[in-house]
């Protein structure tokens, strides 16, 4: 089993739709979680950190489910500009600060 897993997609959704992605992790001692956005042939850009209590930034909501060992990203009112690959990242525990990235979920928002 991979340490961090994501559905590669693509998720094809119409503009205005709500879409959610999950990311599962295998190490229950993982401490920090992040979502990044990566456009084609560009570098990943930090979208948001994922806190235990969940967090929201505009149309984006991230949540952590420690019991089931996954994080989620919800995008409401999808825009064409949201089309990208969304990567989750998990910070390994024990002070190693080794980040494990998922392979990404591709989102295509259609007009």
Choose which of 84, 104, 105, 109 interacts with other proteins (CB under 8 A): 104
CB closer to other proteins out of 8 and 14: 8
Q: Which residues between 54 and 93 bind other proteins (CB under 8 A)?
A: 87, 89, 91
3-state secondary structure at position 94: coil
- Determine contact, residues 65/71, Cβ cutoff 8 Å: yes
20-28, 51-59, 70-78, 94-102 -> range binding other proteins (CB under 8 A): 94-102
Helices (DSSP H) in the chain: which residue ranges? none
> What backbone torsions phi and psi does residue 6 show, to the nearest 5 degrees?
-135, 150
Verify binding: residue 47, other proteins, rule CB under 8 A.
no
């Amino acid at each position: 089993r991979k340490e961090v897993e994501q559905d590669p997609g693509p998720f094809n959704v119409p503009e205005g739709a709500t879409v959610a992605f999950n990311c599962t992790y295998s190490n229950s001692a993982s401490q920090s979680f992040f979502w990044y956005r990566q456009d084609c042939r560009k570098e990943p850009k930090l979208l948001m950190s994922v806190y235990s209590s969940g967090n929201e930034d505009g149309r984006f909501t991230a949540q952590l489910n420690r019991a089931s060992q996954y994080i989620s990203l919800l995008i409401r009112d999808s825009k064409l500009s949201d089309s990208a690959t969304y990567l989750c990242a998990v910070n390994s525990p024990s002070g190693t600060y080794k980040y494990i990235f998922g392979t990404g979920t591709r989102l295509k928002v259609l007009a």
